[in-house]
Amino acid sequence: GENVEQHPSTLSVQEGDSAVIKCTYSDSASNYFPWYKQELGKRPQLIIDIRSNVGEKKDQRIAVTLNKTAKHFSLHITETQPEDSAVYFCAAIQGGGGNKLTFGTGTQLKVEL
């Protein structure tokens, strides 16, 4: 099955700096890669996603890049703010697996004032 690895597990940045979270996946058939933000005790919220036919996607301060050849994708958050502090999960959908979503291990992002 699909295996998604995520790094780093924790990330601390100063307000206004950029944050980068990286993920790798194993199944070359995976074709959809969403990123979720989860605040403590709450449901994951989709913040951005990318499909395998696109190399980069941007939405205001958030961007995602995808390298299909290397099977890795990254989340970039610019001009970080304290409210960006949360746990972020990358995920990949297994191409032939009935749309099962496999999550990365998560990154605890802390934006310090």
Q: How far apart are CA 45 and CA 25, in angstroms?
A: 21
Q: Does 41 bind another protein (CB under 8 A)?
A: yes
Q: How far is the CA of 65 from the CAs of 22, 75, 97, in angstroms?
A: 10, 7, 24
CB of 5 to another protein, least distance (A): 11
Q: How far apart are CA 90 and CA 35, in angstroms?
A: 5
Peptide bond preceding 82: is omega within 30 degrees of 0, i.e. cis? no
CB of 66 to another protein, least distance (A): 17
CB of 19 to another protein, least distance (A): 19
CB-nearer residue toward another protein: 49 or 78: 49
Q: Which residues bind another protein (CB under 8 A)?
A: 32, 34, 41-44, 46, 49, 89, 98-106, 108
